């Protein structure tokens, strides 16, 4: 019966997912059942008790105790089942088990940043070990966002000036998408990150040596990966079209005018400052909305992004 349980639902890969799906399916089938029952009775009554002639009268009925009790008590029982099932499931989903690994999540337009227990930080990609409870402690640096992992059936608002949390325990190794689930401005639909669920060994390897997808790649190739992982692609195109930010096509070596009238040549230092302190130099014709990546990118990331921008002739 698992096909029935997962009907219309995305793959379920966390310990909570089964329970959420079961309750969802229970409510859905209950609704379908009552929809058929009620519309069926309406059609039946319309056909059967339609007034056929002016003289025809229906019997005058005061009430029917058995019928009235059953249509009150039965729905009460059903809604209480849904309430207690949902309440219990909600409590379990809200309170992380003791000893869960903690991850600090920062949302800002339009990137997700993850802080690990050892102090390292990652953008756009969250590495977690499989079969371990993980508690996410989240806040926003600007507007409302929402952390949502459909495959884990977890979702919570991420607010400025306050922490919210969710926890999950992934049951299968794989990549799972985190789409932002609260409209947060122009780049909202592209505000995505990934949870990368790996074995304990691969996770330790990652903490020790860094992301294996990033190691041993020529800088420009790594830069191309970071372009999407770090969310630069949300605002910068590489084909010359203007987005929220200027396109990167052919900018290396060009002279760019800033809003304060100063001229800069786009070179290594200019790009570096643009990434770390974007507010220092705001390109004319654009708004200073670029988030700072200070403390979130490593030296080799900067080198790679610079090499990539250089390569876009």
Q: If binding is defined by CB under 6 A, does position 231 make contact with ligand HEC? A: yes
List strands edge to edge, sheet with 111-115: 121-123, 111-115, 101-108, 134-140, 164-168
> How many helices (DSSP H) and strands (DSSP E) are in the chain?
7, 12
With respect to ligand HEC, which residue has the nearer C-beta, 150 or 231?
A: 231
235 contacts which partner out of ligand HEC, Cu ion, none, CB within 5 to 8 A by kind?
ligand HEC
Give min distance, CB of 21 to Cu ion, in A: 26
Q: Which of 180, 193, 226, 306 binds Cu ion (CB under 5 A)?
A: 180
Question: Any contact of residue 128 with ligand HEC (CB under 6 A)?
Answer: no
**Alpha-carbon span 80 to 70, nearest angstrom:** 15
Q: Is 271 in the site for ligand HEC (CB under 6 A)?
A: yes
| Closest distance of CB 8 from ligand HEC, Å | 34
- Indicate whether 145 belongs to the interface with ligand HEC (CB under 6 A): no
Q: Cα separation of 301 and 118, whole Å?
A: 19
Q: Is 256 in the site for ligand HEC (CB under 6 A)?
A: yes
Choose which of 96, 126, 149, 191 interacts with Cu ion (CB under 5 A).
Answer: 191
Q: Which of 124, 122, 126, 121 is nearest to 111 (CA)?
A: 124
Contact of residue 129 among Cu ion, ligand HEC, none (CB under 5-8 Å per partner type): none
Among 124, 129, 219, 278, binds ligand HEC (CB under 6 A): 278
Q: Which does 220 bind (CB under 5 to 8 A by kind): ligand HEC, Cu ion, none?
A: none
Report the distance separating Cα 273 and Cα 270, nearest Å. Answer: 5
Task: Name the helix (H) or strand (E) containing 24.
Answer: helix 17-48
Alpha helix (H) ranges present in 109-216? 200-209
């Amino acid at each position: 019966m698992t096909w029935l349980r997962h009907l219309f639902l995305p793959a379920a890969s966390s310990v909570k997912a089964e329970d959420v799906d079961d309750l969802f399916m229970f409510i859905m089938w209950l609704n379908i059942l009552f929809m058929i029952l009620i519309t069926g009775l309406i059609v039946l009554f319309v056909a059967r008790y339609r007034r056929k002639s002016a003289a025809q009268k229906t019997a005058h009925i005061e009430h029917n105790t058995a019928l009235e009790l059953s249509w009150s008590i039965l729905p009460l029982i059903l809604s209480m089942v849904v309430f207690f099932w949902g309440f219990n499931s909600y409590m379990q989903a809200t309170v992380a088990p003791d000893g869960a690994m903690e991850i600090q999540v920062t949302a800002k337009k339009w990137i997700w940043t993850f802080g690990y227990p050892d102090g390292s930080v990652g953008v756009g990609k969250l590495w977690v070990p499989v079969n371990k409870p993980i508690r996410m402690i989240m806040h926003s640096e600007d507007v409302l966002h929402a952390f949502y992992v459909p495959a884990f059936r977890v979702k919570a608002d991420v607010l400025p000036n306050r922490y919210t949390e969710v926890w999950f325990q992934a049951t299968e190794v794989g990549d799972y998408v985190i789409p932002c689930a609260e409209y947060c401005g122009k780049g909202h639909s592209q505000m995505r990150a990934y949870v990368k669920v790996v074995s304990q060994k691969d996770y330790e390897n990652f903490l020790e040596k860094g992301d294996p997808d990033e190691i041993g790649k020529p800088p420009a190739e790594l830069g191309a990966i970071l372009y999407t992982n770090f969310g630069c692609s949300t605002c910068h195109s590489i084909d010359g079209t203007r987005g929220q930010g200027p396109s990167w096509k052919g900018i290396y070596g060009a002279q760019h005018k800033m809003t304060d009238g100063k001229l800069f040549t786009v070179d290594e230092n200019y790009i570096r400052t643009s990434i770390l302190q974007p507010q220092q130099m705001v390109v004319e014709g654009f708004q200073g909305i670029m988030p700072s990546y200070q403390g979130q990118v490593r030296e080799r990331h900067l080198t790679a992004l610079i090499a990539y921008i250089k390569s876009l002739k």
